[in-house]
A and B are shown apart, each in its own frame.
Chain A
Amino acid sequence: MFKDLDPILHSQLRLAVMSILISVKEAEFTFLREKTKSTAGNLSVQIQKLKDAGYIDVLKQFKDNYPQTICKVTKEGVTAFEKYVESLQTYLGK
């Protein structure tokens, strides 16, 4: 029996963002943009979707008088990511 893939995670950019955030404690918006090679606008939209799903926390603050957005994965995000990878493995094992 195949498990359904989480539609929030089964999207190129959102999955890329989650994969990065799983590997680090926290990352700045600019770091995510560089690593995923995405545009700021598109990345903002996808980050908002991940935030709405409760998979990531977004902290907006100022650093040296410049606005800074920090993203970190939540417990729900880790669980969802693990489930997603598990589902992928089920599909690939067919």
Chain B
Amino acid sequence: MNKSEVPMTEKESLELIASMIRRAKEACHDTGVSAIMWGALIAFCSLEKLAELQFGFHLPFDIYLLTIVAVIPQIIIQRRENKLKKAKSWEDDFQQALWLSFGICIFILIFLLNVMLPVWFKSAEEYTAVTGKSFPFQLHEYTASLFLMLYGIPTFITGLTMKFRPMFWGGIICWCASVASMFTPIKADLALLALSAIVAWLIPGIILEKEYRKAKKQLSEQDV
């Protein structure tokens, strides 16, 4: 008898529905690769910058430029994942739009700071030259707070909507670190940036990757 014509009881129908929904959901797991990459990269850049300040050396380029270079592997990862994905979940479009908006906001902020900071440094120098005092407001001391505030938004929303607690708490930690970094010196700000990247992205990414592998293994066992 054809599989589609096998008679089913009401209970069997409900069991079939539940099992198919579960299978479909398990197949739409996030790989966590992007979260791992960005978490590791931001943590590395922040710690390298901290080491530069601590030990008084300078790289010939700004280490944060690596974040621009990392857009290329991100595009490759995204394209590969989209290609491998045979089903699109309802959350996929939302997640992509959310993280794309976040990326755009980060680059706008970088651009804004690159316009603002040289003007501010010049004004601060003129102020010191005229008054002999240091400028009372140190703009560069607050840049980490702005980045951490932005880091928290997509992380918190992803954690909340996907019911993924590590990212939910990661987002909250980013915001706590944002507030804390307003009152801490630059070296501590960089440590907070590294810590937030590890807690908000690297660790959740590793958890996601493990869950993805587990789900993949379970699915392949079911398909045997």
On A, residues with C-beta under 8 Å from B are 5, 10-16, 19-20, 22-28, 30-31, 34-38, 42, 45-46, 64, 85, 88, 91-92
A45 to B3 alpha-carbon distance, docked (Å):
12
On B, residues with C-beta under 8 Å from A are 2-6, 8, 10-11, 13-14, 16-17, 20-21, 23-25, 27-28, 83, 86-90, 92-93, 223
Are B4 and A20 touching (Cβ within 8 A)? no
Residues of A within 8 A of B8 (CB): 10-12, 15
Are B16 and A15 touching (Cβ within 8 A)? yes
Residues of B within 8 A of A25 (CB): 87-90, 92-93
20 A-B pairs with CB atoms under 8 Å apart are A5-B13, A10-B13, A11-B8, A12-B8, A19-B16, A20-B24, A23-B24, A24-B90, A25-B92, A27-B24, A27-B87, A34-B223, A36-B20, A42-B2, A45-B4, A46-B4, A85-B14, A85-B17, A88-B13, A92-B10
A52 to B3 alpha-carbon distance, docked (Å):
20
A44 to B89 alpha-carbon distance, docked (Å):
22
Among B13, B90, B223, find the residue whose CB has the most chain A CB atoms closer than 10 A. Answer: B13
A30 to B11 alpha-carbon distance, docked (Å):
28
Q: Which one, A12, A28, A36, A85, contacts B87 given CB within 8 A?
A: A28
A15 to B141 alpha-carbon distance, docked (Å):
60
Are A16 and B20 touching (Cβ within 8 A)? yes
Are A24 and B28 touching (Cβ within 8 A)? yes
The 7 closest A-B CB pairs, nearest first, are: A19-B20, A31-B86, A13-B4, A27-B87, A23-B24, A91-B10, A28-B86
Residues of B within 8 A of A11 (CB): 4-5, 8
Residues of B within 8 A of A15 (CB): 8, 13, 16-17, 20
A2 to B2 alpha-carbon distance, docked (Å):
28
